[in-house]
Amino acid sequence: MTENINSVGIIANPASGRDIRRLVAHGSVFDNVEKVNIVRRILLALNNLDLDKVYIMPDSFGIGNSALNGLWGEEKKNFKLDVEIMDMIINGSAEDSFNAACLMEENGVDVIIVLGGDGTNRVVVKALKNTAVLSLSTGTNNVFPIMAESTMLGLAAGLYTKFTPEEREKVTKPIKCIYIIIDGEIVDIALIDAVVVNESYIGSKALWHVELLEEILVTRSTSYDIGMVSIAGRLTDVGVLDNGGAFIRIGDSEHKVKAAIAPGVIKTIPIKDWRRIKQEEVIELPKKKRIIALDGEREVVVKKDQNLKMQLTYAPARFLDYKAALELADSKKMLEVK
């Protein structure tokens, strides 16, 4: 790992915001041209902060290279930032984001800026042991990442690299997650919700057939969330920083709620029962062939003879609060020019 280097990683998923849910729902489309513009604004912000290095994940669209090649005039003349498009094999899958996050952490980056939705961020967080993330929403279901101007995120990330360990702790937040445990082994995680689906094969990853839903475990639950977690939002309130979550069983019941399970898609969901759960609590489900959807996408196949447990816990990585970072930097007069 590189020592004493102030560096930022950028992972821009070219596939985020472009999945099948554009056909079955009405989600916004974040095309890759806009992602190029977003990355360019991040780079221009970082260029003003005397940063040592920026690493960008390569991708088939060439988002990083296009962001750099689009600089012109004074901004190009004044651009001194050392930017490296990482030398890694890509295959156009979620594995690219996972591998890039691993390499960035090995290179000692202070923070990784992620452009994507819940699915992209799940993969990145799963790869990390001690690196902070700052996530910008460019996906379909966007509960985990935030909507903000990328210039300000770039400034916050660059300033974060110059904070002390104690200051970094103050401007980051813990990330709740759900461990999916099969036969005693952690096989995957979810950041927002883990949904048990009564199916035997994955098929298309997106969820929209609510009659197949059986159990839902969520890390957060508010009245304004979208996706499967919106079902919990009709029942209870669990903030992102609150300990605990909620567990829901779906089934024949007179108790029904309306929930926005995808952009523009509102369904009536029968609630068999539900309860709040504690942080670190483990839920064990009976043996049965099933599919587990993680943050809105079918990901894990469970065989009929396997033991399935789900645990609400914390991820090793933390989330950078860009507003807190900018406020701290201003209190230290870090952006004042003498």
pLDDT digits (tens, 9 = 90+) for 102-159: 999 999 999 999 999 899 999 999 999 999 999 999 876 578 989 999 999 999 999 9
- pLDDT range class, residue 29, cuts 50, 70, 90: low
Q: Is residue 225 part of a domain?
A: yes
pLDDT cut 70: percent of the chain above it: 91
Residue 255: per-residue pLDDT? 96
**Mean pLDDT across 280-301:** 93
pLDDT greater at residue 97 or residue 263: 97
| Residue range(s) defining the domain that contains residue 152 | 7-171+321-331
Residue 26 scores a pLDDT above 60? no
Task: Say if residue 163 is in the same domain as residue 204.
Answer: no
Residue 27: per-residue pLDDT? 52
Q: Is residue 50 part of a domain?
A: yes
Indicate the angle between helix axes 94-106 and 118-127, nearest 10 degrees. Answer: 40
Which structure tokens are listed for 309?
A: 């447990």
pLDDT digits (tens, 9 = 90+) for 56-84: 999 999 999 999 999 999 999 999 999 99
Residue 142: per-residue pLDDT? 76
- Spatial distance between the Cα atoms of 220 and 229, rounded to a whole number of angstroms: 7
- Split into its structural domains, the chain has a count of 2
Q: Is residue 338 part of a domain?
A: no
Task: Say if residue 259 is in the same domain as residue 326.
Answer: no
- Spatial distance between the Cα atoms of 294 and 119, rounded to a whole number of angstroms: 8
* CATH number of the CATH domain containing 92: 3.40.50
Residue 66: per-residue pLDDT? 96
Task: Say if residue 327 is in the same domain as residue 271.
Answer: no
Task: Say if residue 30 is in the same domain as residue 159.
Answer: yes
Task: Say if residue 215 is in the same domain as residue 136.
Answer: no
Which three-class secondary structure state does DSSP give residue 189? Answer: strand
Task: Say if residue 186 is in the same domain as residue 76.
Answer: no
pLDDT digits (tens, 9 = 90+) for 32-63: 899 999 999 999 999 999 899 999 999 999 99
pLDDT digits (tens, 9 = 90+) for 213-259: 999 999 999 999 888 899 999 999 999 999 999 999 999 999 999 99
> Radius of gyration over alpha carbons of the chain, in Å?
20
Q: Is residue 200 part of a domain?
A: yes
**Which residue's structure tokens are 């445990």?**
181
Residue 214: per-residue pLDDT? 95
Are 120 and 113 in contact, with CB atoms under 8 Å apart?
Answer: no
Task: Say if residue 152 is in the same domain as residue 42.
Answer: yes
Q: Is residue 195 part of a domain?
A: yes
Task: Say if residue 157 is in the same domain as residue 271.
Answer: no
- pLDDT range class, residue 89, cuts 50, 70, 90: very high
Residue 17: per-residue pLDDT? 54
Residue 28: per-residue pLDDT? 55
Task: Say if residue 271 is in the same domain as residue 288.
Answer: yes
Residue 23 scores a pLDDT above 50? no
Task: Say if residue 160 is in the same domain as residue 191.
Answer: no
- Spatial distance between the Cα atoms of 241 and 300, rounded to a whole number of angstroms: 27
**What's the chain's average pLDDT?**
91
Q: Is residue 1 part of a domain?
A: no
* CATH number of the CATH domain containing 295: 2.60.200
Task: Say if residue 162 is in the same domain as residue 302.
Answer: no
Task: Say if residue 124 is in the same domain as residue 158.
Answer: yes
Q: CB neighbours of 6 closer than 8 A, spacing ≥ 6? A: 50, 51, 52, 53, 110, 158, 161, 162
Residue 21: per-residue pLDDT? 46
User: β-strands 111-116, 7-12: how paired?
Assistant: parallel
